[in-house]
Amino acid sequence: MEYLNPSGSIKDRPALFILQKALLEGADEVVEVTSGNTGIGLAYWGRKMGVKVTIFMPKSYSVERQKLLKSLGAQLILVDGNISDALRQGEEYAHKSGAYLGKQFENRANWEAHYFTTAPEILEQFPQVERVVVAVGTGGTLVGIASALKRRGVEIVAVEPEESPALWNRIEGEKLGQIKPITTHLVEGVGAGFVPPLVEKNLHLIDKVLLESSEEVIKFWRKIVKEGIFGGPSTALNLLTALKLMEKEPKPTLTLAPDSYSRYLSRL
């Protein structure tokens, strides 16, 4: 239940690690391109640590996230287009201003946060784990957990929205000689439409990639919220995939609730 972290998501972990790295390099401003949660984590910790945080985010992302970023004191710059457009503009801004560019899709601090914190917690709390199901956003959670658990024989399953099968194309599609088109989808925070550099360097850690229809995920999400599982759409993607796997092959399986449904109230 990662939405119980201080700023409300799993991104508290890499946000803190990225800020510590930036401070070690003498930065007084951190720029990040984000779908929301990393930005919120950076804004939360940056405010406590006295670091200015500037966030670039597509306009299409939830109003709740935008309001929360502003309330935490971040400078929020909304971008027309998708995450790739935001990445380009964020890089241009950091180059001109001299700010530290977080580059969560590439920064080792992203996955190291999960290697040094999330993975040990999993082993302490659920030592019998045999399979981990993780939706892919930046890839930090996947790579960090897999780097620690793969060597223990834990199966690593990556998940993407069916409409954005970038990693599936790279791994499963190449095996099958089949490439699926990449389009828009409904699951915020995952499925960026490309294979994150963190993941590209660590494909050997992934046992399989699965896809779920984002329409089915959103329908399932609305159901689990009513049942008291207060995660967001990416929680539904993780849980739906894990439940389907358990039906086919029951074994001790762990998945994550990356953030809270409260960040998507307008979509419920």
Return the amino acid letter for 77: I
- pTM comes to 0.91
Report domain extents, the chain. 2-101, 110-267
Q: Give me the pLDDT at residue 85, please.
A: 87
Name the pLDDT band for 26 (thresholds 50, 70, 90): very high
Percent of the chain residues past pLDDT 70, beyond the cut? 100
Q: What CA–CA distances, in Å, run from 168 to 61, 111, 204, 206?
A: 24, 20, 14, 11
- Domain 110-267 in the same topology as domain 2-101: yes
What lies within 8 Å, CB to CB, of 203 at 6+ separation is 170, 171
The pLDDT mean for the chain works out to 94
Which residues are catalytically annotated?
11, 234
pLDDT in tens, 29-80: 999 988 678 999 999 999 999 999 999 988 887 788 788 899 999 999 999 9
Q: Enter the CATH code of domain 2-101.
A: 3.40.50.1100
* Topology (CATH level 3) of domain 110-267: Rossmann fold (3.40.50)
Closest listed residue to residue 253, CA positions, set 240, 267, 234: 240
> Has residue 148 got a pLDDT over 90?
yes
pLDDT in tens, 181-199: 999 999 988 998 999 999 9
